[in-house]
Structure 1
Amino acid sequence: MRALTAAAIGLAAATALVLIVTAVGTPAGETSPEPLLTTVPGPKK
C-alpha cells in the first residue's frame, strides 16, 4: 500500500510540474541567426 501511495504522490507532483511549466509558457527572446557548428571547422579558403 505504501508503494501505491508513493506512486500516486509522485504522479501528482509530476503532473503539477507539467501544468505549471505549461502555464508559465516559453521565455521571451530570440534565437541566434548564426548556425551552431556541429563539426570541427576546416581550414579557411
Structure 2
Amino acid sequence: MRALAAAAVGLAAALALVLTVTAIGAPTGETSPEPLLTTVPGPKD
C-alpha cells in the first residue's frame, strides 16, 4: 500500500512539473544564424 501511495505522489509531482513548464512556455530569444559544427573540420584545400 505504501508503494502505491508513493507511486501516486511521484506521478502527481511529475504531472505538476509538466503542467508548470507547459504554462510557462518556451523562453523568448533568437537562434544563432551560424550552423553548429558536428565534425572536426579538415584541412582547407
TM-score by length of 1: 0.95
Identity of aligned residues (%): 82
Segments of 5+ residues of structure 1 without an aligned counterpart are none
Aligned length: 45
Deviations along 1:5-45, whole A, 9 cap, x unmatched?
Answer: 00000000000000000000000100001111000001123
Q: Hey, which bits of structure 1, 4+ residues long, moved more than 3 A? A: none
Segments of 5+ residues of structure 2 without an aligned counterpart are none
Please tell me the root mean square deviation across aligned C-alpha atoms, in Å. 0.7
Aligned residue runs from structure 1 range 16-35, under 5 A: 16-35=16-35
CA distance in 1: counterparts of 2:4 and 2:29, whole angstroms: 42
TM-score by length of 2: 0.95
